[in-house]
Amino acid sequence: MSWATVGPLVFVWWNTSLSPPVPRRKATEADLEFVVTQLRELREEVAFDVLALGEVCSADLDAIVEGLGDPNLSVHDATDRTNRLMFDTAVIYDHSKLTLESSLPLTDKFGRKTLKTGEALGFRLVETDDSFVLVASHWPSRLTAADASAVRAELGTALRRFVERMHAAYADPFVVLVGDYNDDPFSPSLANHLLATRDRALARRDSRFLYNPFWRKIGQSHDSDHADDARGFCGTHFYSGGENSQWFTYDQIMFSSAFLQDKSLSLRENLCGIVARPDLRARLLSRREIFDHLPVLGTVELRSES
């Protein structure tokens, strides 16, 4: 079968730090304006189709959508601050290209806890009529659930079971996972329980595995002979108090096996990565700022039969 390229489908995830679900220094109007400016410029640069956000509330979303000023953008507000279990994720999408067909909050009972696994959205592409499922997640911090906590393993298992349900319902489904998992790609929750592998050939061959291109983003962004260390980073999350590293690759975008096949939606791995704008990077490194995460980008090529 031969394919004709229709265009890209661009995903962005950013934990904005504006309205976290736990008490922390409150964001100012200037912080919100900075986020709006970052997103507006990002929209101009990469023309994202799906923008998933973490640590936002409804008021933040209103300001962001107004600031973006694009009539083609719609918002799915999955935030909820009315209960003890607070939700802080949302998805902004281009409704001229995508139709939102379903939404489902994914929660999991684990002992006496209720865990927020993610928010699942079903989309259909207007131009090609393909459908895909997006799950946006913001998992507990290491302060709330330590590295070795059973909660982290359970979250990975719960998300894998959801993906398995998609495979049971649809033949070789397109599933995209985005979020701040507060775990690195090699953490057991993602590598062992979710089965998000660095082995592209394995994920292509065996649909039980997801492919995680962000395994490649855990090291330094520049070689050691690069003269300008001021642009360097080695992850998506900066924490000045880290014992062995101040950088962690907590923000990731992962893809089901279908994106690695010869199909109408094909992963463009060369256009997946960390968006490290200099002004945002500078704020991450400052103890005076609230920001501690860089956005991440994932790109899929849309194709039609020719």
Task: Give domain limits for the chain.
Answer: 3-305
In this predicted structure, what is the pLDDT of residue 241?
Answer: 85
Q: Which one has a higher pLDDT value, 7 or 227?
A: 7
116: nearest Cα among 72, 162, 73, 59: 162
pLDDT at 267 over 70: yes
User: pLDDT digit string (tens) for 16-74?
Assistant: 999 998 877 789 999 999 999 999 999 999 999 999 999 999 999 999 999 999 999 99
For strands 175-180 and 131-138, give the pairing. parallel
pLDDT reported for residue 288: 92
User: DSSP assignment, residue 249?
Assistant: -
Question: What is the pTM assigned to this prediction?
Answer: 0.95
Give the Cα separation of 174 and 16 in Å (integer): 27
Region 205-215: mean pLDDT is 97
- What pLDDT score was predicted for residue 61? 98
Query: Is the pLDDT at 227 greater than 70, yes or no?
Result: no
User: What DSSP letter does each residue of 57-105 carry, written as one string?
Assistant: -HHHHHHHHHHHT-TTEEEEE--B-SSSS-B--EEEEETTTEEEEEEEE
Q: Which CATH architecture has domain 3-305?
A: 4-Layer Sandwich (3.60)
pLDDT of residue 1: 66
CA gap 45, 295 in Å, rounded:
13
**In whole angstroms, how far apart are CA 245 and each of 16, 193, 242, 274, 290?**
22, 24, 5, 18, 19
**Averaged pLDDT of the chain:** 93
Please, what is the Cα angle at 37 between 52 and 246, to 5 degrees?
A: 65
Q: Which two tokens stand for residue 76?
A: 């799915």
pLDDT-derived band at 95 (thresholds 50, 70, 90) equals very high
Phi, psi dihedral angles at 231 (to 5 degrees): -100, 0
Mean pLDDT of 105-114: 92
Residues 263, 40: Cα–Cα separation, whole Å: 32
Q: How far apart are CA 147 and CA 1, in angstroms?
A: 46
38 versus 304: the higher-pLDDT residue is: 38
CA distances from 124 to 50, 64, 102, 201, 202 (A): 12, 24, 10, 27, 27
Separate counts of helices (H) and strands (E) for the chain: 6, 16
> Is 70 exceeded by the pLDDT of residue 226?
no
pLDDT one-digit tens code per residue, 160-195: 999 999 999 998 999 999 999 999 999 999 999 999
**In the predicted structure, residue 84 carries a pLDDT above the cut 80:** no
**Distance between CA atoms of residues 290 and 70, nearest Å:** 27
Residue 25: predicted pLDDT: 78
> Residue 293 gets which letter from DSSP?
B
- φ/ψ of residue 253, rounded to 5: -130, 125
Name the residue with higher pLDDT: 239 or 52: 52
